[in-house]
Amino acid sequence: LHDCTTCSSDACATEMLRIADEQNIETAWHRHAAQQPQCGFGSSGLCCRICMKGPCRIDPFGNGPRFGICGADADTIVARHMVRMMAAGAASHSEHGRHIALALRHLADGHLDDYAIRDEAKMLAVAARLGVATDGRALMDVVRDVADLTLGDFQNQDEKKPCTWLAATLPEKRLKKLGDLGILPHNIDATVAQTMSRTHIGCDSDPTNLVLGGLRVALTDLDGMVLATELSDALFGTPKPVATSSNLGVLKVDAVNVAVNGHNPILSDVICQVAADLEAEAIAAGATAGINIVGVCCTGNEVMMRHGIPLATNYLSQELPILTGALEAMVLDVQCIMPSLPRIAECFHTVVVTTDPRNKIKGATHVDFSETKAVETAKTILRMAIAAYGRRDKNRVNIPKLAQRTIAGFSTEAIVAALTAVDAADPLKPVIDNVVNGNIQGIVLFGGCNNTKTMQDASYFRIATELARRNVLVLATGCAAGALAKSGLMTPEATEKYAGEGLKAVSRAIGEAAGLGGPLPLVLHMGSCVDNSRAVILATALANKLGVDLSDLPVVVSAPEAMSEKAVAIGTWAVTIGFPTHLGTVPPVVGSETVTRLVTETAKELIGGHFIVETDPAIAADKLFAAIQERRRGLGL
């Protein structure tokens, strides 16, 4: 039903897809094939389902209807749907952030015994950034104030007062520009609700005004991400470089293998902490190697960054760990989880466990997770996995041999610490000097998902190696980071092999000064998708040091396999804070020339950033490099 040679560039995925075919098990790739051809109206954004008079469709070639029944034209229809995608993305990231902020608040009030402030220095640094007094105060009083200020970003009703975290994160120049345009949000929840309300039938139909509203709601997505990352670091620790490995070869034949899949470290971090306590029970059940926790998608990135937990795989191949026949449990929380998982698990002994009462899946076992009994729940789930080990069919175990060595853990703090080893008095100076002398041409941040519309992981490898060869420093988050880790690009060897001479020299100097015993990895893993905020904080530090705006920096963003509504929100705020942003999958906006022009051209004049839509990875690399060169010229370099 599908052509395996174009599905994935990941060797483990290809191997497992052969097994899927042999055993007649359906995966996302098979379902993608079954969906072809996909609807042209939907693909171009010209199908409106906003009211029940619809669906209405606009003929892109001008031979059929030009207006929906209410009178909405292609521009309105495209803009409304795109803006709603941004709102959904912002809601998702911010809900994750709210969850962490509420946990902090409950911790401060003494209600959570299973959590602690594991990085006190980060907690105090965050407090200082938000203007919370710390001197001589009890830590939990500081935590309570930080939590309350954070929750204020979901509650403030004064439209003139921008969200606290955005104000504490972006450079002054950028804040002023966004404020002047009226797109600096005051409240995450209110902005998401306003976005839903203005896109209801018969409300905002002016495409420019709608897109501006989209930029505003996308900025709430950034707000939610920054607060999620920074507070998670305080709760669970700020990542430091750590050596681990990636791809399905991280599963162990003699272990109780447990995959954590989803996004929120509130659950996955506790699972990692308690696994050691149940080691003896696993061994007693016959698993001589004990319990082996592996990650999938973004929660995988969270625990990889903080604990060196290996990454089994990224989004599109999340079904495949079950097909190895060696996965005892897949533990889920929220977002980007395929509803097909329990169906596949039925063919094996794997238990699929949902944990969030608002995110259940038919066929999965639900174990309600609450922070007040986190350790107890994590143990219950791990014991379900240990019990499943006894039901494993040894004859059906097929673990691919491949696991790539991966150096992860490059939080902003870790990067600054490495740079401090080069110049203790002025850590950012080595980066700036090397950007000025051209050893580093610029920085690219890879983010976003996998998408069946392209070969899995292939464009990431192609664009990243192409830009590194041209001396562009490469950062990555989310499933982009998963792709680049599985491709073996998060190693010093990859730097030796693929980096241009200038970049290689800088990476060696920093890596050696920082005691890594070699150059920095070619790609710096900055974390999960919410951790795109780390790159914003780093870019802001560089901009502030140079006295310029983010839109002046030779920094670009690339999402070659953008898929989710969250990715739409991230891409949009990346543009809104001033970065040229590449999408390798065509978003459903091409049905409107006006909206397409707004986000690919007008945005550049208005806010400095713009979307670059390019499905060919080689041409995308050229376009991203050209955008970097344009920025360099602007800086007189």
Q: Which residues here bind ligand NFS, judged by CB under 6 A?
A: 263, 297-298, 315, 336, 448-449, 478-479, 528-529, 563-564, 566-567
Q: Return the one option of ligand NFS, ligand SF4, none that residue 336 interacts with (CB less than 5 to 8 A, by type).
A: ligand NFS
C-beta closer to ligand SF4: residue 77 or 272: 77
| 142 Cβ contact partners less than 8 Å away, ≥ 6 residues apart | 123, 124, 127, 132, 133, 134
Instruction: Identify the helix (H) or strand (E) that includes residue 177.
Output: helix 172-180
The partner residues of 366 in beta bridges, in order of sequence, read: 354
**Does 284 participate in binding ligand SF4 (rule CB under 6 A)?**
no
Question: Of these, 7, 13, 17, 48, which contacts ligand SF4 (CB under 6 A)?
Answer: 48
Single-letter amino acid, residue 568: V
C-beta closer to ligand SF4: residue 142 or 210: 210
Stretch touching ligand SF4 by CB under 6 A, among 47-55, 129-137, 147-155, 478-486: 47-55
Site size toward ligand SF4, by CB under 6 A: 14
**Does 72 participate in binding ligand SF4 (rule CB under 6 A)?**
yes
Cα 634 to Cα 29, 38, 206, 231, 637: the distances in Å are 44, 42, 33, 36, 7
Q: Return the one option of ligand NFS, ligand SF4, none that residue 201 interacts with (CB less than 5 to 8 A, by type).
A: ligand SF4
What's the min distance (Å) between Cβ of 57 and ligand SF4? 9
What's the min distance (Å) between Cβ of 67 and ligand SF4? 8
C-beta closer to ligand NFS: residue 304 or 435: 304
458-469 and 478-486 helices, crossing angle to 10°: 80
Q: Return the one option of ligand NFS, ligand SF4, none that residue 529 interacts with (CB less than 5 to 8 A, by type).
A: ligand NFS
**Does 54 participate in binding ligand SF4 (rule CB under 6 A)?**
yes
> What's the token pair of residue 229?
């990352």
**Does 70 participate in binding ligand SF4 (rule CB under 6 A)?**
yes
> What's the token pair of residue 6?
């174009």
CA 549 to chain centre: 24
Spatial contact of 468 and 500, defined as CB atoms under 8 Å apart: yes
* Alpha carbons 457 and 123: distance in angstroms, whole number: 36
What's the min distance (Å) between Cβ of 47 and ligand SF4? 9
532-546 and 207-236 helices, crossing angle to 10°: 100
C-beta closer to ligand NFS: residue 435 or 449: 449
**Does 56 participate in binding ligand SF4 (rule CB under 6 A)?**
yes
Q: Return the one option of ligand SF4, ligand NFS, none that residue 68 interacts with (CB less than 5 to 8 A, by type).
A: ligand SF4
Q: Return the one option of ligand NFS, ligand SF4, none that residue 108 interacts with (CB less than 5 to 8 A, by type).
A: none
Q: Return the one option of ligand SF4, ligand NFS, none that residue 251 interacts with (CB less than 5 to 8 A, by type).
A: none
> What's the token pair of residue 544?
């502030």
**Does 45 participate in binding ligand SF4 (rule CB under 6 A)?**
no
Instruction: Quote the DSSP letter at residue 137.
Output: -
C-beta closer to ligand SF4: residue 70 or 397: 70
Report phi then psi at 57, rounded to 5: -130, 140
Question: Of these, 33, 51, 190, 637, which contacts ligand SF4 (CB under 6 A)?
Answer: 51
**Residue 402 CB-half CA count within 13 A:** 15
Contacts to ligand SF4 from residues 358-397, by CB under 6 A: none
Stretch touching ligand SF4 by CB under 6 A, among 42-50, 129-137, 203-211, 388-396: 42-50
DSSP-assigned states of every residue in 348-414: SS-EEEE-BTTB--TTSEE----GGGHHHHHHHHHHHHHHHHTT--GGG----S--EEEEE---HHH
| 499 Cβ contact partners less than 8 Å away, ≥ 6 residues apart | 468, 469, 471, 507, 519, 522
- Reduce the secondary structure of 303-335 to three states and give it as a string: HHHHHCCCEEECHHHCCHHHHCCCCCEEEECCC
Question: What mask of x and - would describe binding to ligand SF4 in positions 188 to 217, judged by CB under 6 A?
Answer: -------------x----------------
Give the binding site for ligand SF4 (CB under 6 A): 48-51, 53-56, 68-70, 72, 77, 201
